[in-house]
Structure formats: structure tokens, C-alpha cells
Amino acid sequence: MECRFVHAYLAGPPSIRGNAVASAHWAGRSAKDNAAGSVLTSRPRVQAALSQYFVKLNVTTERVLAETAKLAFSDMRDYVAWGPGGVTLKASEELPEGAAAAVAEVSEHEVNGEKSSSRQIRFKLHDKVAALTNLSKYLKLFVERVEHTGKDGGPIDARVVFYLPEPTRRVAVLETSASRALPPVGPEGNGGDPNLGEQE
């Protein structure tokens, strides 16, 4: 299982390569098991195999961040000049150092019309927003939703307290699992409120 997973993750088909969940499914884990990727990548033998491969390729955190930064901070003005006279691509040798890493596609093809033909150029950069998102996650710039649970992953036990009018001074307690626990009610657990009487 682990060998098949490592092979799929590093050298599998393009549709699963580098995708831990898809690689785990390809290696034999259930298609319904979406946690299989993180489970397998956390195993020491899998981590050792991946680390060995990355060392061989000189893949380091610094290099990955540097390449991601090139995509995240790419500027279209480094590649294209535009104005009243039209749009002009800059020559590859005129690009700033490292700017070519952000180029996803450069292509040119001929378009034949009824009376004439022309050549069209297609130019595309890698996804800038995705690269910025990945950097933001690495730097923990934004706090994603955090789900709180009770003991052993269960619901959070809580009590919603309703205060009834005087002179009864009775307290109605509704047990729920939807809000944070409140201090117990009663003579010794009234949260410091001298007017809170004993539950009947």
C-alpha cells in the first residue's frame, strides 16, 4: 500500500500525481476515504521515501517558496506592452530575472479567413490568485474556520439557563449540545450571582 502510494504520488498519471487523496485511492484505499491521503503521508516510512526523493531532486522549502512567489507576484507589464497602438509582447530575453517561471503558455497559430489570413498569439500566466492563496496559507495570514468539539470529538455539553420572574426565583435548565457550557446552578455553583436560588 505505502509503496503504491509513493509511486502514484511521485510518478503516477498526471491526474493524480502530487495529489495525496487521489494517490491514496489509486493505491487501493476506499474512494470514500478522503482522509487516506493525510493518513498515508503522515506515516514515517512514507515521509522518509518522499524526503529521499526530494533530496535527490534538490527540492527544498526555500526553492518551493521562491517559485511560488514568482507566480504570486508576477506582473503583466513585465511581459506585455499595450497602448493606443495595440498590444506587443516583449521578447523573452527582455524579461526580468525569473519572470519566465510564471509563464504558463505562449503559442502562435494562423487563422485563415475567407479573404485573408492572420496570425494569433496566445499568452497566459499561471494562476496568480492560487499562488497568493498558497503563500497566505503557509504564512498563516488568514484564520480559517476552526471547529470546536467536546471530549473525544463529541458534542460540547452545555446548559441554557432561563431566569423566571420573582418571587419564585426558580431556574429552568435545558440541556443542549449547541453552545458553550455554563457554570452549574445551585447554592454553590451560581456563578457568583446571590440572586440565583436553588434549582427546583
Q: Which residues of 68-82 are buried (b: 16+ CB within 10 A; e: fewer)?
A: bbbbbebeeebbeee
Amino acid letter, 113: G
pLDDT in tens, 75-94: 999 999 999 988 899 999 99
All residues at 6 or more sequence positions from 99 whose CB lies less than 8 Å from its CB, including other chains: 70, 74, 78, 79
For residue 145, being part of any structural domain is answered with: no
For residue 184, being part of any structural domain is answered with: yes
For residue 39, being part of any structural domain is answered with: yes
Number of domains in the chain: 3
For residue 146, being part of any structural domain is answered with: no
Q: Could you tell me if 93 and 128 lie in one domain?
A: yes
For residue 192, being part of any structural domain is answered with: yes
- Rounded to whole angstroms, the Cα distance separating 150 from 175 reads 15
Domain with 134, as residue range(s), is: 71-139
Query: pTM here?
Result: 0.52
For residue 144, being part of any structural domain is answered with: no
Q: Could you tell me if 122 and 95 lie in one domain?
A: yes
Q: Could you tell me if 54 and 102 lie in one domain?
A: no
pLDDT in tens, 8-57: 888 788 888 888 888 888 888 888 888 888 888 888 888 898 888 888 87
